[in-house]
Amino acid sequence: MQSIAQRKRRNRTPVRVTLTATLLATACVAASADTGKLLLTGGVSTVEGAAGGGISPWAVIGSNATAGEYGLSANASRLNTQDFDLTTYGLAVGINERVELSCAQQDLNASSTYGVISTVVPTITAGQHLKMDVLGAKVRLVGDAVLDSDSLMPQISAGLLYKSTSAGSYSAVISALGAKTSGTDVYLAATKLFLANSILLNGTLRMTEANQGGLLGFGANGEQKYQLVPELSVAYLLRKDFALGAEYRVMPNNYQNSIAPGYLHSDDWQDLFVAWAPGKNFSLTAAYVNLGQVVPVANAFRKQEGLYVSAQVAF
């Protein structure tokens, strides 16, 4: 693992398209930057686009760019459980190791819920997909995860994630539950890297009203239901290019009493992951993910567990 001294050298569619074009334009600058971030210390890409673990944003700034540089990362991921599959694409720009801008699109195949939901709402269509666009911004407030690795000072960042959901014919269900189709998460993350011990710890506090991350709308019963929920991550670097870890993300439970207790409740998310970076511009992540019960009344109250895989390129 490199030394600290070495590190020191070193419709809504137009909104999404505009930001994506801006991020891609920035790539022209990023491609020529002499980026020097240590492997895996910029995290990987979350399903919401921000840098961190797979399901929780960390305080780190994405891409390989360090102070005085611009960087770009792009990712694609896939999660398959017993009854659902989720595909995500995302981009993130790192600016001067201080600011991160990101965007992501999620596509959830909700076909498994059609049989039960259609008996209540006959207008929904088979093969329905729920899609969500996420625009994110993150600012590093204090600390540097690598440069402060020999002290107790963590890197602390504040961020927000604006989310807009397109539920197609399922919009009638979300509306009947009194939920909105857009909302904003605000979070504060603290990341502490103990470089000498090869351990990374992260804690995130998120203010959110999102149901299942936002794919099932925001709030319930016609009310804003913001909650402050914690998220925890730990990673161990077996070597400089290979890490393993775990995450736990507490989820709001806005739908718990919307129709009948327990029929639409949400469970917390958790994962066990491995990340491999064969070079500074490419990384692969694989994880076992447990989402608990998702729309349990439509899936015989089965837990949704499965494999998550993600690929990221970064400059």
Tens-place pLDDT, residues 240-286: 899 999 999 999 988 887 666 678 888 999 999 999 999 889 999 99
Per-residue pLDDT tens for 5-22? 444 334 444 444 444 444
Q: Do the Cβ atoms of 287 and 49 come closer than 8 Å?
A: no
Structural domain spans, the chain: 4-314
Q: Do the Cβ atoms of 163 and 214 come closer than 8 Å?
A: yes
pLDDT for 27 beyond 70: no
pLDDT for 33 beyond 70: no
Mean pLDDT value of segment 37-64 = 90
Mean pLDDT value of segment 111-137 = 81
Q: How far apart are CA 146 and CA 94, in angstroms?
A: 16
Q: Which of 37-41, 60-64, 108-112, 253-257 has the highest mean pLDDT?
A: 60-64
Q: Do the Cβ atoms of 117 and 124 come closer than 8 Å?
A: yes
pLDDT for 92 beyond 90: yes
| pLDDT over 70 percentage in the chain | 86
Q: How far apart are CA 182 and CA 179, in angstroms?
A: 9
Per-residue pLDDT tens for 168-187? 888 888 888 899 999 999 99
| CATH top-level class of 4-314 | mainly beta
Residue identified by tokens 């993300």 is 249
Mean pLDDT value of segment 81-96 = 95
Gyration radius of the chain over CA positions: 19
Mean pLDDT value of segment 229-238 = 96
pLDDT for 137 beyond 50: yes
Question: Which residue(s) pair with 192 in the sheet?
Answer: 201
pLDDT for 287 beyond 90: yes
Q: Give the DSSP H or E segment for 306.
A: strand 303-314
Q: How far apart are CA 102 and CA 23, in angstroms?
A: 8
Which is more confident, 48 or 301? 48
Q: Do the Cβ atoms of 51 and 100 come closer than 8 Å?
A: yes
Whole-number mean pLDDT of the chain? 86
Mean pLDDT value of segment 120-129 = 76
